[in-house]
């Protein structure tokens, strides 16, 4: 029996395969275990830091007031619309109608139709205390109905929103970044 074990060990070693104390049994190296632990750690960190993405998109994240959640939703939706318009080469309009906003795209007939099938670009109501004070595109005031056209290039725009006690600006710059600030 002993001769058979040493013979199989010698055969495996001469074939270039690593062996442990028992012939034919291969284990994980320390490097492989560390790589697996690093991947698990990075994944858990990404989940933790990015946690609540769906809640933030839908505006249900804990600790947010309705206005802040609505502003973040509007900024995220406008960013997605801007990126899609640039990538696909099809214009998308942010339509800020009374009490709601929606995104429109051109159909094959040249008509503006609501964007369907994308929950981020779904039509949404604005909070009840919001008042649109004005919309500017490339520094020029946009007349009502307020629309911001996203196309092949980033658009510079400003949307001024007022509540009963605060004012906000939703801004898009010429590099394509969209954000909001208190005014």
Q: What integer pLDDT is reported at residue 156 of this predicted model? A: 92
How far is Cα 133 from Cα 101, in angstroms, rounded to an integer?
Answer: 15
Q: What residues have CB less than 8 Å from 110, skipping those under 6 apart?
A: none
* Domain boundaries, given as residue ranges, for the chain: 2-49, 65-182
How far is Cα 99 from Cα 6, in angstroms, rounded to an integer?
Answer: 82
CATH number for domain 65-182, candidates 3.40.50.2300, 2.102.10.10, 3.55.40.10, 3.40.190.10: 3.55.40.10
CA dihedral 9, 11, 15, 18 (to 10 degrees): 0
Q: What is the mean pLDDT of each run of 10 residues along the chain (183 residues)?
A: 49 52 74 91 73 50 70 91 89 86 89 88 87 89 88 90 90 88 82
Q: Contact, 6 vs 24, CB < 8 A?
A: no
Q: What integer pLDDT is reported at residue 70 of this predicted model? A: 87
pTM over 0.85: no
User: Omega before 145 cis (within 30°)?
Assistant: yes
């Amino acid at each position: 029996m002993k001769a058979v074990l040493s013979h199989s060990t010698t055969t495996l070693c001469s074939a270039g395969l690593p062996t442990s104390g028992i012939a034919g049994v291969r284990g994980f190296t320390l490097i492989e275990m560390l790589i697996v632990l690093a991947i698990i750690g990075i994944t858990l960190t990404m989940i933790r830091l990015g946690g609540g993405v769906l809640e933030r998109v839908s505006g249900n994240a804990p600790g947010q007031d309705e206005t802040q959640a609505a502003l973040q939703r509007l900024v995220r939706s406008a960013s997605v619309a801007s990126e899609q318009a640039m990538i696909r080469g099809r214009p998308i309009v942010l339509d800020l109608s009374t009490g709601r906003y929606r995104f429109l795209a051109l159909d094959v007939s040249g008509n503006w139709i609501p964007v369907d099938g994308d929950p981020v670009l779904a039509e949404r109501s604005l909070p009840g205390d919001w008042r649109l004070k004005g919309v500017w595109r490339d520094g020029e005031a946009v007349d009502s109905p307020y629309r911001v056209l996203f196309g092949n290039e980033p658009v510079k725009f400003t949307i001024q929103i007022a509540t009963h006690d605060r004012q906000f600006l939703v801004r898009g710059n010429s590099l394509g970044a969209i954000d909001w600030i208190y005014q």
